[in-house]
Amino acid sequence: MKRTTKQLLLIPFLLCAPSVMAEQADRDKPVHLEANQVLIDDARQFKSFEGRVQLIQGTLNIQADRIDVREDKDGYQHLTAIGHPAKFRQRYEGSEEYAEGYGERIEYDTRAETVDFYDRARVKRGQDEVQGAHITYSTKTEVFSARGDEASQKTGNDRVRAVIQPKRDKSPAASAPASTLTIQPSENLSTPASQRH
């Protein structure tokens, strides 16, 4: 009997990349928004932006078809971005490197300092990439958690896929090009006949 387990992949510092934090200065920058339609309800602390929405705050850039923002009594915001896909991009503190994420829905919680990507989720950092049904990214700890979708077992989308590039030493001796084998996600991975039950 085959037992089904939910796929879970914890990726600290996105696959052994140097430890860097999301750009902290972004919090103190003004928020710039563009959209075709805007609804602002100050009484309910709710804002809604529709139609080719672009939100920029420092190095943070979110693009979506719709963005809803709710603010709690302490001033923390919960942002929901919907798109085909919605896109998230933010630079790491003290670096020129960016984290990029995509999903049909993105949830950004400024209190918890987390970004969740849902439905055909994909997160990239440099050449490393993770794909799954749901990816959670902590902007505070730089930890990624990815899950497959158990409901999609018949189509093969129940698995988490990752491309992890080798970590390179920056010393002069290591700078010579080397022949390396990179891991690529497979769309049609079959089980050898000797392992089938």
Q: What are the average pLDDT values for consecutive 10-residue runs of the chain, which has 197 residues? A: 36 33 69 94 94 93 96 93 95 82 95 93 88 89 83 65 78 52 52 50
Residue 128: partners with Cβ closer than 8 Å, 6 or more residues away? 14, 15, 17, 162, 163, 164, 165
Every domain of the chain and the residues it spans: 8-168
Residue 171's pLDDT is 54
Model pTM above 0.75: no
Assign residue 15 a region (left: φ > 0; alpha: ψ between -120 and 50; beta: otherwise).
Answer: left
**Architecture of domain 8-168 in this structure:** Sandwich (2.60)
Neighbours of 13 (CB within 10 A): 14
The H or E element that residue 109 is part of is strand 98-109
Distance between CA atoms of residues 28 and 106, nearest Å = 22
Residue 142's pLDDT is 74
Residue 16's pLDDT is 32
Query: Does the bond joining 85 to the residue before it have cis omega, within 30 degrees of 0?
Result: yes
Residue 92's pLDDT is 76
Residue 10's pLDDT is 35
